[in-house]
Structure 1
Amino acid sequence: MTDYLDTPEARRIAYNFTPGTGPGLVFLGGFKSDMEGTKALALEAWARAQGRAFLRFDYSGHGVSGGAFDEGAIGDWYEDARDAILALTEGPQVLVGSSMGGWISLLMAREHPEKVAGLVTIAAAPDFTEDGYWASFDKETRHKLESEGSVEVPSEYGDPYVITRRLINEGRTRLVLRSPLALPFPTRFLQGTADTSVTSETALRLLDHAQGEDMRLTLLKGADHRFSTPECLGLIEAALTEVLGALQ
C-alpha cells in the first residue's frame, strides 16, 4: 500500500514501507525512474522473505509523488531521500542506490553518516550532471541551455530527457568526487561492462576516490544499465548478504 510523506520542504513523497528487523534496507532509484521498477520490487520481496525492514519511495516529480520532474534537481531529490529516511526508518540503514540513487546515497553518507550502516550501489552515477551531461554538451548546446533554460537529450528509455539549467547549476553544489568522501562501512559497488549510460571508468573513479576499509567493486561482463536480469538481481542480493553479514 502506498503512503505519503509531507516533507519540511512542502513536497509530497509517495512511499511503501515494509516493517521488519534492522538494519533496514532503503532503495534509492535512478533519474526519472520510480519505485515500481524491477530492482525495487525484487529487493522488497527479498527483504520481506528475511523479515527485514524495507523502504522504497518516489522522489518529487517521479512516479506518483507530487511535483514536476522538469522543476527538480539533485538537491531536491537528495532532500526527499533524506527526509524519508529520517522520518520513516529507525537506526542506521543499508542504502541501495541505483544510478542517480547511487549519487544520492553518497550524499546521504556524507551528510548523515549516522544513518548509514552499509552501502550497495548499482551503476552509481555520481556527479553525472557535470561529468555526463555538461561535459558532453558542445558550445551550441551549452549556449542554448544557458539562454533558454533547458535542452532535450535523447533517451534510450523513451521520450527525450529535458535537462534544465537549474539541474546543471544546482548539481554543481552537490558534487561528491571533488572532495574527500568517507565511506566507513561495508560498501559494494556493482557495475555492468555493457552500460552505455554509466561507464566502468566512472565506477573505477568512484572506487579510487572513496575512502573506506571494506570496499569492493564487482564488474559484470555484458550487463547493461538496467542491471535487472536474474543474474544481476542475484548479484545485488549477494552484495547485500555480504554487507549485512559484515554488520553482525
Structure 2
Amino acid sequence: MEFLNQPIFGVGMTIIPYMIFVLLKQRVPMVNPFIFTTTLIILLLLTLDIPYDAYEEGGRIIEFMLAPATIALGVPIYKEAQRIKDNLVPILLGNTVGSLVGLVSAGLLVFILSGNQGLMFSMMPKSATTPISVEIVANLGGMPSLGATFTVLTGVFGSLFGPELLKKCGISENESIGAAMGTSSHGIGTARVVAQSEIQGSISAFSMGMTGIITSIMAIPLYLVF
C-alpha cells in the first residue's frame, strides 16, 4: 500500500501501457492507445481493488503535464502559419458552422429524448475542449462532471471514426480534415491527425482553439435567457 500511494505508481501505470499500445499500433492500426490504456487502467483498479486516490497521486502529475503538452500544439500552428492564413476564411467558417451545429444538435437530441435542462446544458458544449466545456457547463447551471464526460467521449468517438468517416464522404484535403477534426473532437481528435499529417495537425489545433472561443461566444445568449 505504501508503494501504491507513491506518485510513481500512477505515472508508471499510465505511461508504460500507453507506450506499449503506441508500439502495438504500428503493427495493428486499429489499436487506439488512448482507449486501450484507459480501459486497462480501469480494469486494473477494479480487479486489484486499488483505491482511485492512490492512482490519482500520480495522475495529478500527468494532468499537470497536459498544460505544456497543449501549448506544444502551437509549434505545428507556427510552422504552417502561412497555409492557415491562406485558408483562414473557409477554416473559420467551418469552425463557426461546426460549433453551431454541435450546440444545436446536442440540445435538440436531449430535448427530443425528454431530457431535463441540466442534462441539455451539460451536453451542448461537448465539442469544445474540456477546460472550456466544463466552464460553460458550470456557468449554464449544468453538471460539470457530466459535461467533462460528454466532452471526452466526443473526442474519443471523433478520434476513432472521424478520419474514416471523412474519407468515406470523399473528403481528402488536409485543410478540410484538419478543420473538421479540430472543430468536432478537440484535443483527442487533434492528437489522432497530428500523428499522420503535420498539416492536418496544425489546422486541427488551430480549429480546436477557435472552436473553444466561438462556442463560448455562442453560449452567451443561453446565459442571458436561462
Asked if these proteins are the same fold (TM beyond 0.5), I'd say no
TM, length-normalised to structure 1: 0.25
Q: When you count strand as a share of all residues, which structure comes out higher?
A: 1
Q: When you count helix as a share of all residues, which structure comes out higher?
A: 2
